[in-house]
Amino acid sequence: MTYFAVVDCDNCYVSCERVFRPDLNDKPVVVLSNNDGCVVARSNEAKQLGIKAGTPYFKLAQEFPNQKIAVFSSNYELYGDLTARVMTILHQESPEYFRYSIDEAFVVLRHTEGADLKKWGEELHVRIKKAVGIPVSIGIGPTKTLAKMASHFAKHYKGYHHCCLIDTEEKRVKALSLYPISEVWGIGRRYAAKLNGLGVNLALDFARMSKEEVQSLFNVVGTRTWRELNGEDCVPNEEPAKKKSICVSRSFPGMISDYEVLRRYISNYAARCSEKLRVQGTAASVVGVFLSTNPFREDLQQYNNFYDIRLLTPSNSSITIVKQAEACFQKIYKEGFMYKRAGVVLMSMEYGAGIQTNFLDYDAERFEKMKRLDKVIDRLNRIGGTETVILGSQQFPGKGSNGKSTLFADAIKHDYKSPNYTTRWTDIIELK
């Protein structure tokens, strides 16, 4: 018998912050989006106060006066490193697993006859909490959709001790009868509204529909979800497909009109896109840049534009991508406007091993040199932390508090950012 386990980090970003701030356990904590814009993660205590995801930061003090709420700027470098450690433990527990998102993974449990899966899950929670400091919820079921459902119960009901197992028909029916159809994995908002209109409000109602009814109402994904709820495993065992496009964009802390400052932002967005390309082993054929003013400032002139360039030979080199992104930016920049948002988009991906070169553009020696250079830079940035080594075009004019040129991270508003305790020697925790 094969079972699937879903391992989900509880309130992931908040839990990562609490690893080094245990004084914040049992207290309301929120994590903000880029540029400290709005709430993207909340502790259970913050949820109980009524703080909604997406709440603008400046409204917290207005809507929750006299409440002591701990606030953190997003620190993706820290979150990525800690969740990677969780995934390492999962790999040790079961060689057959696949990561679904930054804080969630599926583990495939084969030949489980006679195994105490509930005990395995509870012990796995204890091991991860002890080794990494992050609490996880574990759901186990005969299908991935039922395992996702079980993880919900494990997260919200303490009696499960962080692990819920659906291994009998009685447990399956009971779980389906308690689960809203709108929360089922694979049922989006549009399909949930459609089902509610038909009087289907619970997962059990949906599972008891006939196959013919489901096929007439839904696409392949909806039919697959119905089969999964009825105990038939049919979701492929694979990680999400590699992205067909990559975009890095931000709203600026204020509004910017200066050409040089905007160009540096574009250079940094392009460099980040290049890193993402190399991580997933792809190269881009098209580099695009967009600029836009603030649509909410009706008192100002409005301007939006996008321009892209097709590369003769697909690339994931930071130098190449940044150079082309800057060329796109030059095409669309106009003086006299106050810009609020910009971004870089990479499209038309090709996988590293199958890149189609162009004999008019391709220089084998230069290609290998750039490849080695990017590899060294990526390695140094993994060891020393993000932006230990950057391109000259990524530095911002002006000096930081250390007297050196300001880096991209310093140009983004993150007034409440915690140190990168696990990835930078300069931020390593000090014990007193």
Q: From CA 250, how far away is CA 347, in angstroms rounded? A: 18
pLDDT band for 402, please (50, 70, 90 cuts).
very low
Rg, Å, the chain Cα set: 24
Burial label for 193, CB within 10 Å (0-12, 13-18, 19+), is: exposed
Question: Residue 44 contacts by C-beta under 8 Å, 6 or more apart in sequence?
Answer: 11
Residues 249, 255, 260, 264: is their CA dihedral positive or negative? negative
Mean pLDDT of all residues in 61-67 = 88
Q: What is the pLDDT of residue 399?
A: 45
Q: What is the pLDDT of residue 242?
A: 63
For CATH 3.30.70.270, the residue range(s) in the chain are 3-9+79-229
Residue-by-residue DSSP string for 300-357: S---EEEEEEEEEEEE--HHHHHHHHHHHHHHH--TT--EEEEEEEEEEEEEGGG---
CA 415 to chain centroid: 21
The answer to whether residue 403 scores a pLDDT higher than 50 is no
* DSSP class of 391: -
pTM score > 0.85 for this model? no
Mean pLDDT of all residues in 82-102 = 88
pLDDT in tens, 316-339: 999 999 999 999 999 999 999 999
pLDDT band for 407, please (50, 70, 90 cuts).
low
% of the chain at pLDDT higher than 70: 91
Mean pLDDT of all residues in 81-88 = 93
pLDDT band for 404, please (50, 70, 90 cuts).
very low
Q: What is the pLDDT of residue 43?
A: 95
For CATH 3.30.1490.100, the residue range(s) in the chain are 246-411
pLDDT in tens, 227-258: 999 999 988 776 665 667 899 888 887 899 99
CATH 3.40.640.10 fits 246-411, yes or no: no
**Mean of all residue pLDDT scores within the chain:** 87
The answer to whether residue 23 scores a pLDDT higher than 60 is yes
Q: From CA 421, how far away is CA 402, in angstroms rounded? A: 20
The answer to whether residue 44 scores a pLDDT higher than 50 is yes
For CATH 3.40.1170.60, the residue range(s) in the chain are 12-75
pLDDT in tens, 179-225: 999 999 988 888 888 889 989 999 999 999 998 888 888 878 888 99
% of the chain at pLDDT higher than 90: 53
Tell the CATH topology of 3-9+79-229: Alpha-Beta Plaits (3.30.70)
Q: Are 414 and 73 in contact (CB under 8 A)?
A: yes
pLDDT in tens, 275-327: 998 888 888 999 999 999 998 888 899 999 999 999 888 889 999 999 999 99
pLDDT band for 401, please (50, 70, 90 cuts).
very low
Question: Residue 410 contacts by C-beta under 8 Å, 6 or more apart in sequence?
Answer: 396, 400
pLDDT in tens, 330-372: 999 999 999 999 999 998 877 755 455 555 555 667 778 888 8
Domain with residues 12-75, CATH architecture = 3-Layer(aba) Sandwich (3.40)
